[in-house]
Amino acid sequence: MDLKEGIKKFGIDSSDEKKKLSILSLGAIILLLICISVFMGMGIKDRAASYTVQGSLKADEVNMNSKIAGNIEEVRVREGDRVKAGDVLIVIDSSNLQAKKIQAEGALSAANATYQKALNGARSQEISQAKAAADLYTKTYNKVKSLYEQGAVSENEYNQVYAQYIAAQETYSMAREGARSEDISAAAALVEQASGALAEVNSYIEDCQIKAPMDGVVTSVNVKPGELVSTGTLLVAVIDDSNYWVEVNVDESKLDKVQKGSEVTYVFAAYPDEKFKGEIYSVNEKPAFATQKATKDTNNFDLLSYTVKIRADQAKDKKLYSGMTVDVMFGE
């Protein structure tokens, strides 16, 4: 019995069977397409809700420049050394300034002496001498005046004695009264001027010692002992490794996912298997062009971006370095 006879025997119609198989196949395909659409929709929704952007780890860094021209006398640190605020890092030779300091100190001493003399007035011995001279010229003047009235001396002789008499009286008066207020003020001004010159020299000498402005780590040392440096030369840099933050640039089209005070997830390239949480604490109001940022999206052009800063406190137990690459996920 062939196949056709078997189908007829059991009452099976080959055309009906084909139709049933076609319907089942079509249903399976439709169900598969529905499942794919659902999963794709979920993926699109997730991607639309989240936004990943690449940024970097930042920290405060201070570059210390030379305010004084001179030779480097001593370099006390190396790159990687940990320092505390106020530690002397580099010393510039100050021998020429020390000589100027001695000159300034001498000028101040002289100005103080002049001021004290003007303030105290003449000594008692000087007053006595001035009084004796005034008394002498008074007696001499009275005698000459009497002779002049009698015609015994000339008018010229009388005038000379009179001038000496007046001068002696003025000298005695000044010795008793002391220096005038104008002289005292002038002497005080000289003291202030000399004090200012000395303070300026001391300030320059202080600038010869380059000190750490904060606790941190030395990131660069750019000079060696004996090297001649000019003003403005970059000598050393120190980074504050106690306060790191993550900084990213976010497209203006994605700013709806950025809220100050909200929490985001970030991952270091150095620690790809660990996720950290951080709070957005700053969104810069000043925009930058898109060409100035790094992002994983490549389909946006001529968009502005805004700098966003995120606290990195949760990663403090890790070994961190300024500039490390960080991926930040917004909306997760």
In the numeric block, which tokens belong to residue 165? 């008499």
- 168 or 216, which is more confident: 216
pLDDT tens per residue across span 174-211: 666 655 667 678 878 888 988 999 999 999 999 999 99
Q: What is the mean pLDDT of residues 10-19?
A: 53
Residue 301: what residue type? F
pLDDT given at position 129: 77
State in words which class domain 49-59+242-330 has.
mainly beta
Domain 49-59+242-330 identical in fold to domain 63-91+213-237? no
**Backbone φ and ψ of 110, nearest 5°:** -65, -40
Residue 321: what residue type? Y
pLDDT given at position 159: 82
Q: For strands 228-229 and 70-75, give the pairing.
A: antiparallel
Q: Tally the residues of the chain.
A: 332
pLDDT given at position 44: 45
In the numeric block, which tokens belong to residue 284? 């810069």
Q: Closest Cα to residue 331, out of 37, 39, 45?
A: 45
How does residue 238 score in pLDDT terms, banded at 50, 70 and 90?
very high
Is residue 173 within 8 Å of residue 35, measured between CB atoms? Answer: no
- 36 or 159, which is more confident: 159
Q: What is the dihedral of CA 172, 173, 175, 176, to 10 degrees?
A: 120
pLDDT given at position 43: 45
pLDDT given at position 14: 52
pLDDT given at position 78: 95
Domain ranges (residues) in the chain: 1-32, 49-59+242-330, 63-91+213-237, 98-204
CA–CA separation, 119 and 140 (whole Å): 34
pTM for the predicted model, two decimal places: 0.60
pLDDT over 60 (residue 311): yes
pLDDT tens per residue across span 251-303: 888 888 888 899 999 999 999 999 999 999 999 887 765 544 445 555 545 67
Residue 72: what residue type? I
**Backbone φ and ψ of 269, nearest 5°:** -65, -30
pLDDT given at position 111: 82
Instruction: For domain 63-91+213-237, say whether CATH 3.40.50.720 is its number.
Output: no
Which region among 3-17, 163-177, 203-217, 230-244 has the lowest average model confidence (pLDDT)? Answer: 3-17
Q: What is the mean pLDDT of residues 11-38?
A: 59
CA–CA separation, 251 and 294 (whole Å): 10
Q: What is the mean pLDDT of residues 48-65?
A: 87
Helix (H) or strand (E) holding 308: strand 304-311
pLDDT over 50 (residue 7): no
pLDDT given at position 134: 75
How does residue 21 score in pLDDT terms, banded at 50, 70 and 90?
low
CA–CA separation, 304 and 286 (whole Å): 10
pLDDT over 60 (residue 3): no
Q: What is the mean pLDDT of residues 45-58?
A: 75
pLDDT tens per residue across span 99-155: 889 988 888 888 888 777 766 655 666 667 777 877 887 888 888 888 878 877 788
pLDDT over 90 (residue 70): yes
pLDDT given at position 15: 56
Q: What is the mean pLDDT of residues 236-253?
A: 91
Residues in contact with 275: Cβ distance below 8 Å, sequence separation at least 6, in sequence order: 265, 266, 267
In the numeric block, which tokens belong to residue 288? 């930058």
pLDDT given at position 45: 44
Residues in contact with 14: Cβ distance below 8 Å, sequence separation at least 6, in sequence order: 7
Residue 226: what residue type? G
